[in-house]
Amino acid sequence: MLSFLWKSYIKNLDQWPLLTKALTGVVFSYFGDFICQKVIEKSEFSHERSKVFCSYGLVEAVIGGHFWLNFLERSFGTKRTLKNALVKTTVDVGLFAPFDLLLFMTWTNKLENS
């Protein structure tokens, strides 16, 4: 069953990369926020808050999971070496992470307070 789901996911990534990554971002954002609200915070589930997180997950998955990671692959290659992984991670943490954090804080503040 898991093998079938994984193969279907990979097939969808090949056929519809942006849509698949966007939906993946939404699903992971929903479940992550659900776990945070119910298990960690032990609070009532806020659908409004979850909508904010899911909308961010959709946008970030497309920007970060598609365009940014493809840029890193084009810029630094696809070799699976420790050096290449460290270079990509350094660039990601140094350049994209601050932008991503700013986007997250702005996005969630704006939507939660509107």
Contacts of 26 (CB under 8 A, 6+ apart): 54, 57, 58, 61
Q: What is the mean pLDDT of each run of 10 residues along the chain (114 residues)?
A: 95 96 95 97 96 94 90 96 97 96 94 85
What is the per-residue pLDDT for 61? 87
User: Do the beta carbons of residue 49 and residue 37 sit within 8 Å?
Assistant: yes
Domain count, the chain: 1
Domain that holds residue 41: 2-112
pLDDT score recorded for residue 112: 87
Report the candidate in 91, 59, 52, 45 with the shortest Cα–Cα distance to residue 72: 91
In contact, 19 and 3? CB cutoff 8 Å: no
